[in-house]
Amino acid sequence: MKLFGKEEVNTGRQMFIDLAKVIAIVFMVADHTWMYGGTELHDTWGLILDGVLGGPLAAPVFMTCMGIGVTYSHRSDAKSMMQRGLRLLMAGYILNLIRFLGSATASLCKDKVINLSDIAWQLTLVDILPFAGMAFLLLALLRYLKASTITTVLVGLVMSVIGSFVRQVNTGCLAVDILLSPIIGVSTETVYSSFPLANWFIFVALGIAAGKMIRCSVNLDILFAWLTPFSAVIFLGLSIWMIKEEIGLYSGNEDYFYHMTTFDSLGVCLPAILLMLGFCHFGGKLLQGSSAELVRRTSVDLNRIYLIHWVIIVWIVYLILYSILGWQLSSPMRFLISLVILLISTWLARHKPFSDIKL
């Protein structure tokens, strides 16, 4: 049974990759709405959403698809990737500023004092966009050095191992912590790395390797027929055990997710990613016509949707609904609000001035 050939056969746009990215953004929007809706994440729905759907099945999937996208991009030379990396970095820190202004306004409405720690923490937060910017800058360097796919994966693996041990860093110097935070897992009262390059670049590297394999796969149906159930057993089995034992990225300590170890990345998240891709491969076959175009267009607009949804969550959900009006939202209401935010963000991403944002 031959699964791969020497010639590239899957060179067109892959619906299942678009669908995986769309599902990931749905989970992220729901999780972020939950987080900023003034609700603890310790009830059943919160734990499922934040720990599983918004955890291994969200950001790791998104970043792996980003790597796959590099193999399909017509602008994957070193210069283009460097330029994109700088744009993503800039967008990430502008988003930090916008979120800080919303959170600061909410604090003032509740007569809270805004101190230097709050300002530094929110302005320097290494979220997905700053990580993506750093990842593209590293890819630009690797492309400039003509690094092979195997070398790129090895770089990601070495960085992951280093990140497994060098995490939750606090040097005691604000400037040093800020400089280190995009690269390693810094965790202090003033600086925090949600997605440090060392811990998360492995997903981009694996995505590039996966993209190369997908392009040469002569039968994706058989490939995913094998991978999907196998990945499901590993992911679900390990997740249930780790949740029960409260270890690793399921320990309840957010640092252990954001600064995850190589075991968490390869043992838990990689099977989750393969499960998602397999589900989307077979599920995507059911999408035709307008539904397929909706998924494709949403995937294209994903970065803009990500930017917009955060602005709505911080300024509308957190500032107005929670901080000013004091609304206590039920679980169904939070899910409904997250859906509305997703729809509004998707619509706005297609219209000016937001459609002019190029990331």
pLDDT confidence bin for 135, thresholds 50/70/90: very high
pLDDT confidence bin for 37, thresholds 50/70/90: confident
Which tops the pLDDT comparison, 49 or 44?
A: 49
106-115, 157-166, 264-273: segment of lowest average pLDDT: 106-115
pLDDT of 7: 82
pLDDT confidence bin for 343, thresholds 50/70/90: very high
pLDDT confidence bin for 230, thresholds 50/70/90: very high
Which two tokens mark 90? 């800039």
> Is residue 20 classed exposed, middle or buried when 0-12, 13-18 and 19+ CB atoms within 10 A define those classes?
buried
Report the distance separating Cα 303 and Cα 129, nearest Å.
8
Say if residue 41's pLDDT is above 60. no
Report the distance separating Cα 93 and Cα 98, nearest Å.
9
Each residue's pLDDT tens digit, 256-282: 999 999 999 999 999 999 999 999 999
Each residue's pLDDT tens digit, 48-98: 887 889 999 999 999 999 999 999 998 889 999 999 999 999 999 999 999
Indicate the pTM of the whole model.
0.94
* Mean local confidence (pLDDT), 174-201: 95
Alpha helices by DSSP H, the chain: 15-36, 44-48, 59-72, 78-109, 116-123, 128-144, 149-165, 174-180, 197-216, 220-245, 255-258, 262-263, 270-284, 289-300, 302-312, 331-349
